A and B are shown apart, each in its own frame.
Chain A
């Protein structure tokens, strides 16, 4: 099972990782997927940008 998630599942894990610690199996499967999928790596960086934007928004935006 480990090492075989698709983009749909990877997006769920990437979002979950913003809210909770992933378990070892989840982490391994996600890392394996990200190593081979540029689209999900882009999604991962977008989540980081969303988080920075949210912090900035709290302080007043521009």
Chain B
């Protein structure tokens, strides 16, 4: 209970939840998987040898819990929150970002020194905050594609959408994420003269 690594393990909960959600597409089920994984992790933290990062180790435990839960309960419990196909096809959101002639309304800026940003804990807080602001399905698809590196074909199949819907969702997610990171981090950092 008072293991000093408890807090460190616990700090990965938001990431793990995102992982579980991307795989299970069901909030309560994802919470359950994460809870079970964290309990297992605390019980076996002595066997963590530091060869991989803590997050990678926790994710590998969670992966088994996810598969377990998929086998056990998905059929009756999953309340799939599917991607809304109409929403995925609708591109009017682009009008907010581009004017009638197709030019950027707020042009992207050059981001200075991303590698230095990656070294800062605060940057990752901002990154998570920006991920949280993506629409639910968009955040989930983005997580599968960019963070887990899954192929779009596999994602389409799991989400039951067409590839072109998938590309639209990813396009939107990337534009939203870049805009949020620029506003919340890169522009702010530059104005501080770093």
Contacts and interface: CB of A to CB of B under 8 A. Distances in A.
Interface in B153-194: 163, 166-167, 170-171, 174-175, 177-178, 181-182
Interface size class of B (residues with CB under 8 A): 35 or more
Given A7-B103, A19-B152, A42-B107, A62 B175 contact: no
A45 to B, nearest CB: 7
Interface in A1-60: 6-9, 11-12, 15-16, 18-20, 39-40, 42-43, 45-47, 49-60
B60 to A, nearest CB: 12
A34 to B, nearest CB: 13
A15 B170 contact: yes
B interface, over-half SS: helix
Contacts of A53: 114, 118, 127
B108 A42 contact: yes
Interface residues of A, number: 32
A51 B98 contact: no
A7 B100 CA distance: 11
A8 B94 contact: yes
A7 B97 CA distance: 10
B178 A57 contact: no
Contact of B152 (A11, A20, A47): A20
A interface, over-half SS: helix
A41 to B, nearest CB: 9
Interface in B48-82: 53-56, 59
Nearest to B148: A58
25 contacts: A6-B103, A9-B102, A12-B171, A18-B174, A19-B152, A20-B152, A39-B108, A40-B108, A42-B108, A42-B109, A42-B110, A45-B111, A47-B178, A49-B111, A49-B114, A50-B174, A51-B146, A55-B147, A57-B124, A58-B59, A58-B147, A60-B12, A61-B121, A62-B120, A62-B121
Interface of B: 12, 15, 53-56, 59, 94, 97-98, 101-104, 107-111, 114, 118-121, 123-124, 127, 145-149, 152, 163, 166-167, 170-171, 174-175, 177-178, 181-182
Interface of A: 6-9, 11-12, 15-16, 18-20, 39-40, 42-43, 45-47, 49-62
